[in-house]
Amino acid sequence: MTILVTGAAGFLGTRLIEALLAPPGAASAATRIVAADITPPTVDDPRIVTRTGNVVDPSFIDSIVASDTAVVFHLAAVLSGQSEAEFDVGMKTNVDATRALLEACARLAKPTRFVFSSSIAVFGGPLPEVVPDDMALRPQSSYGTAKAIGELMVADYSRRGWIDGVSCRLPTVAIRPGRPNSAMSSFVSGIVREPLAGIDAVCPVPLDIRMWITSPGVVTRNLLHAGQMPTGDLNGRRSFNLPGLTVTPAQMLDSLERLAGPAVRARVRQQVDDRMMRVVSTWPGAFDTKHAFAAGFTADAGIDALIASYMREAGIQARTV
Ligand SMILES: NC(=O)c1ccc[n+]([C@@H]2O[C@H](COP(=O)([O-])OP(=O)(O)OC[C@H]3O[C@@H](n4cnc5c(N)ncnc54)[C@H](O)[C@@H]3O)[C@@H](O)[C@H]2O)c1
């Protein structure tokens, strides 16, 4: 069998492939993993076949979907900042390429498990304190709109029996290693990652704004689960608000101080950026995730555990764990 991962060179794609390869991961010795990305994926394993190309190109899509493709993790996407700045690039990558990939999967003999990485950006406008599972989708960005279209396509292709889809609405994934990226949520990782690296950081939003976040480890496990979970009794409810933590920047900085000390926390100063503030204040801060828990998805233990796991991975000694 073949497992296809698009966006395989990205932050989550790389982790997902490592998790698929690690015992007792989903990839047995007989499994082939096609790792597709516009940037050459770097994971090295005999089970990996790398494919470098643009998912907007239909011939590339045809080259990555094999007749025995049993599971697709569709992670390739243009993120929120770039989608807002470059409407066409966002729509071509996030909508047109998703449709082309669904079409290629629909031509296969057996319905492929199609895991679509959606986002909480599908929600917007007036929202209750806790967003219920059946909240109407009212995205307030081109990125969120594209993800909402993707979810609807996944649901309809599944209803027709052409694929077996699961859409995962990912919380903001933090703490993301490396450098800031083009996502509007990049600061959420930055206010922990940069001070831990001895770099001054700016929090561009008020310290009491609520954010919905998850760790890279938990979200990777949840994506793997989406690739294997039973879908027979979903009754068409194929979109899941993945579990997350409701935290404010202030709570993240308190945790940072507990784990790394006051001098590290002091490297973060607040300077509100009105443009960022307008966008971030539309993000929902808390979700009812009953549907996801009932389907077997899991949550982070808390903000200290989330930041401690980043510090462990980065080789930074915590004061307490
Ligand atoms: N990380 C988060 O906080 C978060 C939150 C919600 C949703 N998501 C979704 O999860 C998925 C993965 O996110 P990530 O954080 O790993 O992002 P990322 O930017 O690290 O990875 C995306 C990958 O897609 C590739 N890509 C982009 N355009 C492409 C194209 N036209 N053809 C081929 N490859 C292309 C990029 O090269 C990159 O390697 C995305 O769909 C994203 O929208 C992420």
pLDDT tens, residue by residue, 69-107 = 999 999 999 998 899 999 999 999 999 999 999 999 999
Ligand 1 centre to CA of 8 (Å) is 9
For the CA atoms of the chain, what is the radius of gyration? 19
- Nearest residue (by CA) to ligand 1, atom 19, is 10
Atom of ligand 1 nearest to the CA of 76: 24
Q: Which residue has the higher pLDDT, 248 or 31?
A: 248
Q: Is the dihedral of CA 211, 284, 16, 26 positive or negative?
A: positive
What is the pLDDT, as a whole number, of residue 34? 97
pLDDT tens, residue by residue, 302-320 = 999 999 999 999 999 988 5
Ligand 1 centre to CA of 260 (Å) is 30
Q: Is residue 41 exposed (0-12), middle (13-18) or buried (19+ Cβ within 10 Å)?
A: buried
Per-residue tokens: 147: 């993800």
Tell me: pLDDT of 321 over 90: no
* Strand pairing class (245-247; 211-214): antiparallel
Query: Ligand 1 pocket: which of 74, 167, 170 to mutate (most atoms <8 Å of CB)?
Result: 170
Q: Which residues contact 302 (CB under 8 A, 6 or more apart)?
A: 245
What is the pLDDT, as a whole number, of residue 26? 65
Q: Which of 55-59, 71-75, 168-172, 283-287 has the lowest mean pLDDT?
A: 283-287
Atom of ligand 1 nearest to the CA of 120: 6
Q: How confident is the model at residue 48 (pLDDT cuts 50, 70, 90)?
A: very high
**CA–CA distance, 271 with 273 (Å, rounded to integer):** 6
**CA–CA distance, 210 with 188 (Å, rounded to integer):** 11
What is the pLDDT, as a whole number, of residue 109? 96
What is the pLDDT, as a whole number, of residue 278? 83
**CA–CA distance, 294 with 225 (Å, rounded to integer):** 13
* Three-state helix/strand/coil letters over 17-30: HHHHHCCCCCCCCC
Q: How confident is the model at residue 25 (pLDDT cuts 50, 70, 90)?
A: low
Average pLDDT in the chain:
94
**CA–CA distance, 52 with 264 (Å, rounded to integer):** 40
pLDDT tens, residue by residue, 242-295 = 999 999 999 999 999 999 999 999 999 999 999 888 878 888 899 999 999 999
pLDDT tens, residue by residue, 211-227 = 999 999 999 999 999 99
* Strand pairing class (239-241; 2-6): unpaired
Tell me: pLDDT of 210 over 80: yes
Residues identified as active-site: 143
What is the pLDDT, as a whole number, of residue 276? 86
Atom of ligand 1 nearest to the CA of 14: 16
Q: How confident is the model at residue 27 (pLDDT cuts 50, 70, 90)?
A: low
* Phi, psi dihedrals of residue 292, rounded to the nearest 5°: -70, -45
Which 8-state DSSP code applies to residue 300?
A: -
Ligand 1 centre to CA of 113 (Å) is 19
In the chain, pLDDT over 70 holds for what percent of residues? 98
DSSP letter for each residue of 261-284:
-HHHHTTEEE---HHHHHHHTTS-
Three-point CA angle 181, 6, 290, nearest 5°: 80
Three-point CA angle 191, 124, 144, nearest 5°: 75
262-269: Cβ within 8 A, 24+ apart = 264/195, 264/196, 265/195, 267/194, 267/195, 267/198, 267/199, 267/200, 267/201, 268/191, 268/194, 268/195, 268/200, 268/201, 268/202, 268/203, 269/200, 269/201, 269/202, 269/203
What is the CB < 6 Å shell around ligand 1? 7, 9-13, 37-39, 54-56, 75-79, 93, 117, 119, 170, 172-173, 185
Question: Closest by alpha carbon to 305, among 265, 257, 241, 259?
Answer: 259
What is the pLDDT, as a whole number, of residue 99? 98
What is the pLDDT, as a whole number, of residue 320? 56
Q: Which domains does the chain have, with CATH numbers?
A: 2-173+215-241 (3.40.50.720)
What is the pLDDT, as a whole number, of residue 185? 87
Average pLDDT over residues 119-134: 92
**36: amino acid identity, one letter:** A
